[in-house]
Chains A and B, each alone.
Chain A
Amino acid sequence: MRNIIKVMDDMRFPDAERLLPLPAVTFHILMALSGGDRHGYAIIRDVAARTDNRLVLGAGTLYRSLERMLGQGLIEESGDRPAPELDDERRRYYRIAPFGEAVARAEARRLTELVRMARASGFARGKA
């Protein structure tokens, strides 16, 4: 199954591997957006929660990453907005692009492979 997805990704996004390894912040943002569209502050909170507050993104870092990711086609601005009573018109929502998903999967595969090799060499516990 996993291989099928990889083959399909490779066919649709032959450049995905070129962006690897992904900067940690980029990967975190992609993970945050995997759960649905988010605005900036929501991404910060999501990343913080996911990492037990070990990574709290500053606004400067976040938006610079977002801009670069927009340029790379990893994410796009979302046109869907929440119900008006929940919305703040200043907010912009971002969602992960198909290319972003492919890149995130490629990064995950790369990391998994890395961990597998670490186990084989005894640096980490678990089955190689």
Chain B
Amino acid sequence: MRTGSLLYRALLYLYPASWRAEYGEEMRAAFGARRRDASGVFGVIALWVETLPDLVTNAAAVQWDVLRQDLRYAARTLVRSPGFAIAAVSIGAVGIGATTAAFTMVDHVMIRPFPYVQPDRLVALYQTHTAHGLEWELSPANFRDWRQMSHSFSAMEAYRGVSVDVSGLGEPQRLDGASVTGGMFSMLGVQPALGRLFAAPDDRDSAPATVILSYGMWQAEFGGDRGVLGRTLHLDDAPFTIVGVMPKDFYFPSRDAELWTTMRWRPDAFEDRLDDYIYPIARLKPGVSVEQARTEMVGIAGQIARAYPKELANTSAMTRRLRDSISQRAVLLLKVLMGAALCVLLIACTNLANLLLARAMVRRRELAVRTALGAGRERLVRQMLTESLILSLAGGGTGWLLAYATLPLLVRLIPVSLPLAEIPALDPRVLLAATFLVCATGTGFGLIPALRGRRRAIALELHDGGRSGIGGRRQRLRAALVMVEVAGSVVLLVSFGLLTRALWRIQAIDPGFRAEHVLTLRTSLPMPKYERPQTRDPFYRHVLSEARRLPGVRAAAYTSFLPMAMPGGIWPVEVEGRPEDVANQRTASLRFVTPGYFATMGIPLRMGRDVREGDSHNAPYVALVSEAFMKRYWEGQSPLGRRVNVGNNWRTIIGVVGDVRVRGLERTSEPQVYVSWQQSDNVSPWYAPKDLAVRTSGDPMALGPALRRIVREADPQQPISDMRPMAELVAAETESRRVQLGVLGAFGAVAFLLAAVGIHSVLAFAVSQRTQEIGVRMALGAQSRDILGMTVRDGFELAVAGIAAGIAMAYGAGQLLESLLAGVKPHDAATFAAAAALAMVMTLAGSLAPAIRAVRVDPTTAIRAE
């Protein structure tokens, strides 16, 4: 009996409290009566079988009725104050949108697993220098030894990026791809979409040439034709048989790889220990940790280094998770973005809170009246909750749209080297988390007015016309929220300022050449065809002489690789008359150039002469060096006539040119050595000049069609790639920074605006609450000036407190940003001063309207209202 009654009472909690208060007792009495009338165990059971569904369905219906009522009421209320509704929704949307977009990016770049089986068991291996920690590729010989000697891995494979001319598909074109060892794809654990993967036999020296296509290329070039298997594709003029197509979401090693071939090393590929060009990837054996593998590999690299002391001195090995092998800079750029988004979210939440608090004060009377008319506190809470939820959900929806619109703009922050799809999918978890935060803020502060619903307070509220009893505590809370907003916007402003200054500083860096008015393009000569230097010569001569004849062209030249387009091509250097220091061998960046390269690029010739036609295969081998090279070996003396061994030949120095930032604006580069394009004995044809630079007096892109025609005349099969102004190459250096700054600037502007609105609303409210006081003051002789001062002072105090806190936080943020600042001090006084001044101006602007309203108070009306 008693249990039944308790159970019934518990079930009544399915109803809203107001319903329980109204009918709970009666329902229990009615149930009790029926329970008494029920006879026997079966009667009781039958009663329960009937009662349970009756209670549950009716409770749900009652809840639904109340919800519908609340929704209708909330919608009416919001429609009646559209300004508030729009402000609240857009503030929520900005917070949610910014955070979702930023977190989605971070998740995509830093966290999302690669599209392979058990990707967290895959590691990337590098050679490292024991002294300076640089990491670089491996030679096939070392790779073979690493693979044979290690026990930590169930498989170890290698790849290298390749770029090939593809012909036989309409216009010849140049595509990126990778050359892999036979077991690579099986190790990654992927299945082909069509055909088969490579196997060990495909990778043998004598194996027929085979190629696997990416899904994208299969669709673009073959329209998804399933009969593509077995067809022949010409890569650099050599026939390759198509054996497979990879699935849609497969990317390896980077997003832009379109096709894959096998290494097919010849026996002589294993002769040179310094022929470093492959990247090994391995899969850890079950139970082996990355640390264990790392330790083992350091030991193995040490053993090999001792066996080849001349080539491999100071060489060790690095092992790290494949997922972690993205640049620290890309990570930091994203972290900054995420921090800024969080800042915006914080500011949005505080602003929302502020807005709701202000509204709460305005609605005190409405709620007091409703309470007096008998609305229970629970009903009011529920009502407010519904209203807040409507606002938050609308904000969430708009925020999602915002994030969706913003993502494509952020994509340029994703390093192309990641094997992931270009546009990340919006992350619903993040969206939910951000929406939840905004909802929590919205409901938390939205409920405050309802929670105050104590009868006595209500009575007071009605009694004194809702004028006094402002709730000094609440006003202080609002002031604190505004301070947080000001502080947050100061942090964003300072970060934006510091990064802007860093960008300016980087853009001001002299790359060592003049990029304006220079058009560049690449004609990578396919190798079996142009293997011998003599065969390449007519091509260069034709292109260069014709290009120079074009109207407006001042100079034209070929080089192995343009600066910034290719940071590699580094060779060890030996200087005549100095004993070779194996342990600390110095290196330089080596380029083969045609005459006029320095004039074309605007690299100053400091001493001696340029390469010329006469520096042929049969003439004495010559070289030009950069100023840094000269300083390194012959500080204060002329290097002309001295001899260096670089690029497998002894060469006499004939000139000195200015230093160039080969590795990019923000990185220090090795000193440079330039040699004649004709003196390339014993050097891989990979160094054969392929990048053409043309200096013109007008718009460089206008030369495009003429240059295409010239190249076609020289060799109709020869594809052209990477045609772009040199200035674009330099601008690409700062691209990700500019995107980041744009985002940060937008975030900063939003935060700034929100903070200004926050200050405005706090002061406007304070003024409206103090109308009587102001009236009395004026009646007692206070001047407009005093009233103005009083209001502005309130705003000023808020601003000073906020700015002080903001500066302290911005100092911390600056420290975290330091590595992105390109030498700008994280405590750069000018930036801080500018940010503080801006924040101050914002405060004053925000307090202006309320101050004017305060001055306009008419003492007689204000006092009469009393």
Contacts and interface: CB of A to CB of B under 8 A. Distances in A.
Nearest to B27: A59
27 contacts: A40-B26, A41-B29, A41-B30, A41-B33, A41-B34, A58-B55, A58-B58, A59-B26, A59-B27, A59-B30, A59-B31, A60-B27, A60-B57, A60-B58, A60-B59, A63-B26, A63-B27, A64-B61, A67-B23, A67-B62, A88-B29, A90-B25, A90-B26, A90-B29, A91-B26, A91-B29, A92-B26
Interface in B25-65: 25-27, 29-31, 33-34, 50-51, 54-59, 61-62
A10 B57 CA distance: 36
A22 interface: no
A9 to B, nearest CB: 29
> Which residue among B22, B26, B33 has the maximum number of chain A CB atoms within 10 Å of its CB?
B26
Given A41-B33, A41-B34, A64-B62, A59 B54 contact: yes
Nearest to A43: B30
A64 B23 CA distance: 9
Given A58-B51, A59-B54, A61-B54, A44 B30 contact: yes
Contacts of A44: 30, 34
A56 B50 contact: yes
A109 B61 CA distance: 30
B48 to A, nearest CB: 11
A43 to B, nearest CB: 9
Given A41-B29, A67-B23, A59 B51 contact: yes
A41 B26 CA distance: 8
Contacts of B57: 60
Nearest to B8: A59
Nearest to B58: A60
Interface of A: 39-41, 44, 56, 58-64, 66-67, 88, 90-92
Interface residues of B, number: 21
Given A58-B54, A58-B55, A66-B23, 16 more contacts: A40-B26, A41-B34, A44-B34, A58-B50, A58-B51, A59-B54, A59-B55, A60-B27, A60-B55, A61-B54, A61-B58, A63-B23, A63-B27, A67-B62, A90-B26, A91-B26
Contacts of A91: 26, 29
Contacts of B27: 40, 59-60, 63
A25 to B, nearest CB: 11
A70 to B, nearest CB: 10
A50 B56 CA distance: 26
A63 B27 CA distance: 8
B315 to A, nearest CB: 81
Nearest to A44: B30
Contacts of B56: 60
Nearest to A92: B26
Contacts of A41: 29-30, 33-34
Contacts of A61: 54, 58
Contacts of B23: 63, 66-67
A37 B27 CA distance: 18
B29 A62 contact: no
A40 B58 contact: no
> Which residue among A58, A60, A63, A64 has the maximum number of chain B CB atoms within 10 Å of its CB?
A60
A24 B717 CA distance: 88
Given A41-B33, A41-B34, A44-B34, A60 B54 contact: yes
A63 B55 CA distance: 10
A56 B33 CA distance: 13
Contacts of B19: 67
A64 B25 CA distance: 14
A59 B61 CA distance: 14
B16 to A, nearest CB: 11
A59 B20 CA distance: 13
Contacts of B58: 58, 60-61, 63-64
Contacts of A62: 30
A42 B213 CA distance: 82
Contacts of A90: 25-26, 29
Contacts of B26: 39-40, 59, 63, 90-92
A126 B33 CA distance: 41
A106 B22 CA distance: 30
A58 B57 CA distance: 11
A56 B34 CA distance: 10
B148 to A, nearest CB: 78
Sorted nearest first, the 9 A-B pairs with minimum C-beta distance are A58-B54, A60-B58, A59-B27, A41-B30, A60-B54, A60-B55, A90-B25, A41-B33, A59-B30
Contacts of A60: 27, 51, 54-59
Nearest to B15: A60
